[in-house]
């Protein structure tokens, strides 16, 4: 028995000598542990640090999608990618419009390497086409039409327009220089190094309120070929935090009230004036708020005139009630401008307005 006790004592002593910290750690009082250094507090007035602009989307982000023209015809090529059994299938839709005779043909195809073969029909007449090497060709099987089109770039005539004297500058813009969010309540939006901001962290409202005004605003929808419908470059411009003009990648789609340029659930744009995603576009909006009676109640609706990329798509469109997802309801004489966060990385730049007294 004495030999067993002696052996046990030797084993304990050897364990302690090999790892003294294994025992010591259990006996250190909590208050004796070294305190972790406190992180330096950020200055309350610190401004967001501009981040490098993500690689800008090209005019034709994948070298295919975009506008094409030639031979008295124009075409819009739209990417609509899908995944089948985990494999990415790059599908495209081509909306081909002829000037004379007035004719519209829709062609579809799946990218095969560097070649996009296309098939479609106009009425009972079959069409075939292909897009390769930046050139789009299409022909009717009855031999009446044979077209060759090349990519083109269109820009809004008011793109980069400078604010006039007396304008309220909401998002200053100078090419290649970071802007600021001084006029906005949500500082979480990303300030990019190219002079624009990207939607992030919720809706954004101006710190000031406005009544009748003329607004200039520039926006870019992201290229999201795997997204569909309202999930494809969605945002919105809300006058007085109430009346939305929709922002969406609606390139090549029929005009609807919930597509780009639509006054949401009120009126579709007269025409679809969208440019392809990845290009800067403009809204020039003239807004008149409600007319009010002596009792303070509205007697006439608010009105919106919207020019999209130089094309008038709404003219004195009445809007009586706040549109869906508005931040506020009820008619007011003045309210903030609101830009919507719908979860997509839409960008904005060069925003200013002129108050109409």
Q: What is the full DSSP assignment across 27-45?
A: HS-GGGSPPPPPPPPPPTT
Q: Is residue 13 one of the residues assigned to a domain?
A: no
- pLDDT, residue 62, reads 85
> Do residues 112 and 219 share a domain?
no
Are 282 and 192 members of one domain? yes
What domain range is 122 assigned to?
66-152
The answer to whether position 14 is within a domain reads no
Same domain, 131 and 223: no
Whether the per-residue pLDDT at 10 is higher than 80: the answer is no
pLDDT, tens digit (0-9, with 9 covering 90-100), for 339-350: 999 999 999 999
Q: Is residue 234 part of a domain?
A: yes
Cβ neighbours, 10 Å, residue 111: 18
Quick check: is 309 in a domain?
yes
CB 246 within 8 A of CB 317: no
Residue in 205, 206, 213, 212 with CA at minimum distance from that of residue 292: 212
* The pair of three-digit structure tokens given for residue 259, joined into one six-digit string: 């597509």
What pLDDT does residue 47 have? 63
The CATH number assigned to the domain holding 138 equals 2.40.128
Q: Are strands 213-220 and 347-355 parallel, antiparallel or unpaired?
A: antiparallel
Q: Which tokens in the block code for residue 97?
A: 């419009």
Question: Would 286 be classed as within a structural domain?
Answer: yes
Residue with tokens 């000598």: 17
Mean pLDDT of 179-188: 98
Do 147 and 267 lie in one domain? The reply is: no
203 located within any domain:
yes
150-172 tens-digit pLDDT:
999 999 999 999 999 999 999 99
Domain boundary among 152, 182, 200: 152
Summarised one tens digit per residue, pLDDT across range 266-290 is: 999 999 999 999 999 999 999 999 9
CA distance 270 to 247: 15
CATH of the domain at 190: 2.60.120.560
What confidence tens digit (pLDDT) does each residue in 33-89 have? 444 444 444 444 456 667 766 654 445 678 899 999 999 999 999 999 999 998 999
| Lowest-confidence region among 18-32, 162-176, 292-306 | 18-32
Same domain, 225 and 344: yes
- Summarised one tens digit per residue, pLDDT across range 113-142 is 999 999 999 999 999 999 999 999 999 999
pLDDT band at 11 (very low <50, low <70, confident <90, very high): very low
Instruction: Determine, yes or no, domain membership for 48.
Output: no
Please give the radius of gyration of the chain, using alpha carbons only, rounded to the nearest integer.
30
pLDDT of residue 61: 73
Residue 247 located in a structural domain = yes
Average pLDDT over residues 202-210: 98
Number of domains in the chain: 2
> Tokens in use for 42?
């950020």
Same domain membership, residue 253 and residue 128: no
Q: Does 118 share its domain with 217?
A: no
Q: Helices H, strands E: what count in the chain?
A: 2, 24
């Amino acid at each position: 028995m004495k030999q067993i006790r002696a052996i046990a004592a030797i084993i304990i002593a050897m364990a302690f000598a090999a790892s003294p910290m294994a025992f010591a750690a259990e006996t250190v009082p909590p208050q004796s542990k070294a305190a972790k250094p406190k992180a330096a507090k950020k200055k309350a007035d610190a401004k967001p640090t501009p981040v490098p602009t993500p690689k800008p989307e090209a005019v034709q982000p994948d070298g295919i999608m975009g506008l094409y023209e030639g031979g008295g015809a124009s075409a819009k090529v739209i990417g609509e990618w899908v995944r089948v059994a985990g494999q990415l299938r790059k599908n495209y839709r081509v909306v081909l419009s002829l000037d004379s005779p007035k004719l519209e043909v829709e062609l579809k195809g799946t990218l095969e390497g560097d070649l996009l073969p296309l098939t479609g029909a106009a009425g009972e007449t079959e069409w075939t086409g292909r897009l390769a090497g930046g050139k789009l060709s299409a022909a009717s099987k009855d031999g009446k039409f044979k077209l060759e089109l090349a990519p083109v770039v269109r820009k809004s005539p008011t793109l980069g327009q400078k604010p006039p004297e007396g304008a309220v500058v909401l998002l200053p813009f100078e090419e290649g220089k970071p802007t600021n969010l001084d006029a906005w309540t949500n500082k979480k939006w990303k300030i990019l190094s190219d002079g624009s901001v990207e939607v992030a962290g919720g809706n954004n409202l101006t710190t000031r309120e406005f009544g009748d005004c003329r607004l200039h605003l520039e926006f870019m929808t992201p290229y999201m070929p795997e997204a569909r419908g309202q999930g494809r470059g969605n945002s919105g411009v809300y006058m007085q935090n109430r009346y939305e003009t929709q922002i969406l990648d609606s390139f090549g789609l029929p005009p609807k009230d919930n597509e780009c340029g639509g006054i949401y659930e009120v009126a579709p744009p007269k025409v679809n004036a969208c440019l392809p995603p990845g290009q800067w576009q403009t809204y020039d909006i003239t807004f008149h708020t409600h007319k009010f009676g002596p009792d303070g109640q509205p007697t006439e609706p608010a009105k919106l005139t919207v020019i999209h990329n130089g094309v008038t798509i709404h003219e004195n469109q009445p809007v009586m009630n706040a549109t869906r997802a508005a931040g506020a309801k009820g008619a007011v004489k003045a309210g903030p401008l609101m830009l919507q966060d719908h979860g997509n990385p839409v960008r904005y730049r060069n925003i200013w307005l002129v108050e109409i007294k």
